[in-house]
Structure 1
Amino acid sequence: MSKNRQERQTLYQKLLLLGTDKHGSERVLYPTKPKGSVQKVPILGGTPISADTAEALRKQVFGSAELRSPMESEWLGQSFCFNDADTPQSYSLKMPKVTNKGLAMCVQGFILKHLLFTRRGPRVVTDPSTLLRATTRAQEEALVGALSDILWKAGERQHAVLCLTQENVYVNDSSSYQTDGCTERIHTFEFKKQDELTFNLKKYLFEFLAEDGNGLLLFLYSVVLSRGFAKIVDDMDGEENSLLQSNGTIHPALATLLLTGRATLYLHNGIIYEGSEDTMAKARTGIVTRAEVGLLVWSREEDSGRSSVGSRLKTPSFPVWVTRCKDMYGILFNPNKELTRDYHAENRFDLHYYSANPNQTTATIITIDTRSQTTRDEYHSPPLENLIHTKWQGAEVNWNGSAPYV
């Protein structure tokens, strides 16, 4: 036997595993591909963060850079983490901390967009229940697509900035800045094409998934730099508010930034002028284009001027809605794309609800029937039903045996 043939046969034997079936017959077992593709690789290039940018980031997000606050500690050491693959809830992110839930739910909305509606190819399964039982690879691809969509939208589809960390420290403690172990180690990468952004997100996805990493904060910083400090202040009517509130939860304007690319305080369609010509009517800019992922809001204590949700959020391109119910975030979705395209599909339909609530051990599927209008007292109705009625007024809401826990 020639040397080359021997080498080929040796290689072939290494690639094959011999086994036997229940009848004792020999069979060949081919090595399986790894379930996931995420690997830790060296982060090369980029621009080291400056002291001015590090301070500005901390102020924009946390309100101050001088001291590391308890609120900031809630965000350090937190990354994106999916529920176990190939299970009924494998489409969803784990959210161990209430403070991070608002940001994670907005990302979850775009994850569902990619899992359910944007996958292409002849071998792509279209059965919703199968798509929701996501494999590890499907989880990773959906997360990359979600992060890319949000960052590209924040950069007005012209550019995006990605924050990744290095071992080196570029900003030291000073009277105006206290190190936190993350911000001062950032390298920033700017991209002018979304394909390049997506490629690098996939390449460095480990930064956003690492259990001991700062994936959530790095992504939040990336959103801020993609939008730009000046535009965020302008979006918020000149109010220099931090994007996280005093309890560590996200400011409502951060939710609109993540969903629409603009950190607006208002949820109505377009521009509304408040006041009169005599009092110099001021423009209040809300949602300027139809959102891909929607937002529904309900609370008895809400400022009605800022929480009046317009159709561009109520009827998004995809039937996925982030929910803010009494300041608690969740998500409603339906796998049928026609639900937001054909009003006939809204006669009777199901909505999946996910909130990462510890009490939610099985899928919560709520049936909405708009054919028979009912009168309900919102003071005696579950908050989530009141939220649903802001979109489907008077509809009958059936929890299908689940005890209303929201």
Structure 2
Amino acid sequence: MEKKEEKKPAVKTRSFQKMVKKVVHTQATIGVVVDRRKHVLYPSNSKTCLQEIRVEGGTPITAEIAKKLRTLVFGSSSMVGSVETEWTNQSFGFQPYDTAMGYGLRVTKNATKGLVMCMQGFVLKHLLFAKTKGKSSVEPKALLKASMRAQEDSLVDAIADIIWQVGDKTSATLCLTQDVAYARDDESYQCDGCTEKFMSNNRSGLLLFVYSLIMTRTFKRVMEDAADVKESLIQPNGHIHPILASLILTGRATPYLHNGIIYEGNEETMSKPKTGVLKRAEVGHLVCQRSENKFPVAVGSRLKTPTLPIWVVRSDDSYGVLFNPNRELLRDYHAENRFDLYYYSSSSNQNKSTIVTIDTRNASNNDDYSTPVLENIIHTKWNDAEVTWNGCSPYM
């Protein structure tokens, strides 16, 4: 059975976002720990960098917290291996603004793609819908044409949205960088150049964004959200664990994607709650597992039908984003008879917009293992719909 969650009053995030905008740009690096009363990000050098602001009133990271962060994220604090190397010195960056892909974030390391695509969903939210004020007649190409300023603003707004949601819209902790190393090498901790200090020539925004999520949610609540999941947030193969995607998209690190709370048990055993998605998401999530050793993922309507027509899609460890520039798409049943979806995955072969056409009036005969992966994912939302790739070779 499903338990209805209590509604909490919404808290506006604009003041928090404005504070972030003062010091963040598209190449921002964040690190160490900042007190929740000082909502600040500290940028590294860039042509578009705003005035550098020194951190005041922040709380320096301790060796104990550094070890806990590394253990939760990578599974161990003692050694720096290939997985950590994949994630250090990686930052958020866009495709060239004057190209067709100017709205898209770049993926420089394949292992970081899942995190970047989750962020991409929120970037698109602000690029497509923040200034349209409910209008659905704006030309899609105009919405997707991003200036350098639009790129910067959308990324900052996305960071603010995600962290504020993770903090239940009541508090936030942002991680930023300092010149001093607050944790030293010993037998239980090996420095990685990111967790314990700032290296001025490096940018580690992706990893330190993850640290911000953890510090905002707190270690205790992340572990409570994750329930029986004992794995690290970044898996041994370097890709993000699905619970990290859930943390970004829903504000909770839950392994369950169904609606609400479901209790499992019988008369002889105590009912055990499985807490899924507690409210309708702004950015949706569609999942289709292809590996034989993985069970199907039950995704509820709060992720399948988000408030905005944007979906982060996943098959095993492969991620991408589907979206439609018309925010009215999910509000009109007839609009879903036949419509287009843009697909973005930051693929090196993607140099122009990929647009797939979905026709729910015509059923397609598909086999899960011969049908392209993205089509299988689409069918989890629009069952048996006809998918046309419009001259583009299918890819994920």
Shorter-chain TM-score bucket reads 0.7 to 0.9
Question: Among residues 77, 91, 103, which one is paired with 2:103 in the alignment?
Answer: 91
**Does the CA contact (< 8 Å) of 1:111 and 1:143 recur in 2?**
yes
Distance 1:177 1:211, change over 3 A: closer
Give the alignment of 1:59-138 within 5 angstroms: 59-119=71-131, 126-138=138-150
Letter matched to residue 248 of structure 1 = G
Distance 1:218 1:68, change over 3 A: same
> Are 1:226 and 2:216 counterparts?
yes
Q: Distance in 2 between matches of 1:185 and 1:335?
A: 41
Letter matched to residue 301 of structure 1 = S
Report the number of matched residues.
Answer: 348
> Are 1:282 and 2:293 counterparts?
no
| TM-superposition CA deviations, 1:311-348 (whole Å, max 9, x none) | 00000011000010242000100000011222111011
Distance 1:305 1:272, change over 3 A: farther
Partner residue of 1:345? Answer: 335
> Are 1:156 and 2:168 counterparts?
yes
Pick which of 165-174 and 301-310 moved more. 301-310
| TM-superposition CA deviations, 1:79-109 (whole Å, max 9, x none) | 0110001221100001021110000000000
Q: Distance in 1 between matches of 2:72 and 2:369?
A: 37
The SS at the match of 1:74 is: helix
Q: Distance in 2 between matches of 1:405 and 1:243?
A: 26
The answer for unaligned runs of 5 or more in structure 1 is: 1-34, 187-206
**Does the CA contact (< 8 Å) of 1:99 and 1:248 recur in 2?**
yes
Letter matched to residue 217 of structure 1 = L
Partner residue of 1:375? Answer: 365
The answer for unaligned runs of 5 or more in structure 2 is: 1-45
- TM (norm. structure 2) is 0.84
Letter matched to residue 134 of structure 1 = A
Pairwise CA RMSD: 2.2
Letter matched to residue 184 of structure 1 = E
Partner residue of 2:5? Answer: none
* Aligned-pair CA distance for 1:307: 1.2
Q: Distance in 2 between matches of 1:356 and 1:92?
A: 7
Partner residue of 1:44? Answer: 55
Partner residue of 1:203? Answer: none
User: Which structure features the higher share of helix residues?
Assistant: 1
> Are 1:402 and 2:392 counterparts?
yes
**Does the CA contact (< 8 Å) of 2:289 and 2:297 recur in 1?**
no
**Does the CA contact (< 8 Å) of 2:229 and 2:255 recur in 1?**
no
Letter matched to residue 389 of structure 1 = H
Q: Distance in 2 between matches of 1:370 and 1:344?
A: 10
Letter matched to residue 61 of structure 1 = V
Q: Give aligned-pair identity as a percent.
A: 53
Q: Distance in 2 between matches of 1:130 and 1:149?
A: 24
Structure whose CA Rg is larger: 1
* Aligned-pair CA distance for 1:70: 1.2
Partner residue of 2:206? Answer: 216
The SS at the match of 1:367 is: strand
* Aligned-pair CA distance for 1:245: 0.4
Q: Distance in 2 between matches of 1:211 and 1:40?
A: 18
Letter matched to residue 227 of structure 1 = R
Letter matched to residue 44 of structure 1 = V
Distance 1:308 1:58, change over 3 A: same
Pick which of 347-356 and 170-179 moved more. 170-179
The SS at the match of 1:366 is: strand
Letter matched to residue 73 of structure 1 = T
**Does the CA contact (< 8 Å) of 1:55 and 1:65 recur in 2?**
yes
Give the alignment of 1:146-295 within 5 angstroms: 146-185=158-197, 212-295=202-285
Q: Distance in 1 between matches of 2:292 and 2:300?
A: 15
The SS at the match of 1:175 is: coil
Distance 1:153 1:303, change over 3 A: farther
Q: Distance in 1 between matches of 2:309 and 2:335?
A: 11
**Does the CA contact (< 8 Å) of 1:299 and 1:327 recur in 2?**
no
Partner residue of 1:140? Answer: 152
**Does the CA contact (< 8 Å) of 2:288 and 2:296 recur in 1?**
no
Q: Distance in 1 between matches of 2:316 and 2:243?
A: 16
